[in-house]
Amino acid sequence: MLTISADLRAKILAHARADHPDEACGVIAGRAGSNRPERFIAMLNAERSPTFYRFDSLEQLRVWREMDDRDEEPVVIYHSHTATEAYPSRTDISYASEPGAHYVLVSTRNPEQDEFRSFRILDGEVTEEDVTIAPE
């Protein structure tokens, strides 16, 4: 189960809407081992594409080092789909390489309706999980 604050959930959705029709991506860091997302980090989509995303490699190095220094880990890794449902594609699954992370997908295909879902992706296997909004 992913437990996330309403504020962080809103930040992910706002980032996805702002970058639409391109896919948006980012990380929410949290204290290592806590399973609690806390620090929102919007990342550049180096691909600037409506169908693909990739963290800019140098930005990723900087952010991962910063998390290391702060004893944090990527608790949530999020990205948006802009024309399809918020469910991991084959490409998403083949790249998924943080076994401890919650992979959050949102979809901006419908301007009126938010789609926000969370998954574990382990050894090519996708498991959807409940999302609970934590009290502030």
Partner 1 sequence: MAIEVRIPTILRNYTGGQKAVEGSGATLEELFADLDGRYEGLRERLIDDSGVRRFVNVYLNDEDVRFLGGLSAPVSDGDTVTVLPAVAGGAR
- For partner 1, the binding residues (CB under 8 A) are 23, 25, 27, 43, 47, 49-55, 57-58, 60-61, 64, 77, 79, 81-84, 88-89, 91-100
Q: Residues 60, 46: contact at Cβ < 8 Å?
A: no
Nearer to partner 1, 41 or 131 (CB): 41
Q: Is the peptide bond before 21 cis (omega within 30 degrees of 0)?
A: yes
Query: At closest approach, how far in Å is the CB of 46 from partner 1?
Result: 9
Residues 6+ apart with CB under 8 A from 122: 96, 99
Q: Give the other-Cβ count within 10 Å of 23's Cβ.
A: 23
Phi, psi (degrees; rounded to nearest 5) at 109: -65, -30
Q: How far is the CB of 32 from partner 1 (least distance, A)?
A: 10
Residue with tokens 């399809």: 84
Specify the residue, 95 or 133, whose C-beta has the smaller distance to partner 1.
Answer: 95
Nearer CB in complex with partner 1: 7/59: 59
Q: Residue 116 CB, nearest distance to partner 1 (Å)?
A: 16
- 37, 70 contact by CB (below 8 A): no
Tell me the closest approach of the beta carbon of residue 93 to partner 1, in angstroms: 8
